[in-house]
A = this chain, B = another copy of it.
């Protein structure tokens, strides 16, 4: 095995926080890009290397981190100088002093993913998806669009974010696609990102939306103390969907995910809410415990 089999390896971070909207951390400059850097010999592990790069490039110290996916298709090569492998990670934090300049909203990146409002972006997409479906002889495209985008009376599933991005990419409905048709305004198609960073973010979105349902990861995005309303708003922001208030509260409380601090908060107007804190012990105590996504309000 000669040195010629060696490959450049890069670590890429999808760091998410929720501040009004769910947001992804970018480094400065355009096109938008994620914190990233090569894996170096002095990095003890890839996680350690990733933390180092994120801190160096953005000043942020990461808490929760998990591996996302490793990308290495040959056609990702950027400059012909051999292949590049990217190992991507998902990181979660909450923001103490929010300088949001580098924190790009998910829904600026993927406007169609927010189903809480009128779903305008999704509606704008639909005719172009239909057109793409028409081009093919078989109905595979139709079925695929139907499932991923919840068309024809099907259900919209938040965790299919990556599949939706892939459909749009193949259909030439995002600018970075090789078949880009330029039929969509930027408010609908979303912005370019460096290389395939937007795909990597989509992978993170899908993973987080899926995981939030069976593991208590939301709390990594919350401050030490929070109200149930804030917690629910955070879940809704991530899912891009409303959830049923009463059921949400019951699930959270009866699963013993949180405990009261005794304090209250009267920030948002209306009756003051009790404050809670995450019972971090349950990460050890139980293997399960997520926040289901009951249907809209």
A interface residues with partner B (beta carbon < 8 Å): 1, 3-9, 38-41, 43-46, 67, 69-70, 72-74, 82-83, 85, 87, 140, 143-144, 147-148, 157, 160, 284-287
Nearest first, the 10 A-B pairs at minimum CB distance are A6-B6, A5-B38, A70-B70, A143-B284, A45-B73, A7-B9, A46-B72, A70-B87, A1-B38, A6-B8
Closest to A72 in B: B46
A144, B284: Cβ atoms closer than 8 Å: yes
Q: Which residues of B contact A7 (CB under 8 A)?
A: 6-9, 39
Known: A7-B6, A7-B7, A38-B5. A147 touches B70 (CB 8 A): no
A8, B4: Cβ atoms closer than 8 Å: no
Closest to A88 in B: B70
Known: A38-B1, A40-B5, A85-B85. A287 touches B160 (CB 8 A): yes
Q: A7-B7, A70-B70 are in contact. List 8 more A-B contacts (CB 8 A).
A: A3-B6, A5-B40, A9-B85, A41-B74, A143-B284, A147-B285, A148-B287, A157-B287
Known: A9-B7, A147-B286, A285-B147. A72 touches B39 (CB 8 A): yes
Give the residue of B41, B45, B67 whose beta carbon is less than 8 angstroms from that of A4. B41
Known: A43-B74, A87-B72. A143 touches B285 (CB 8 A): yes
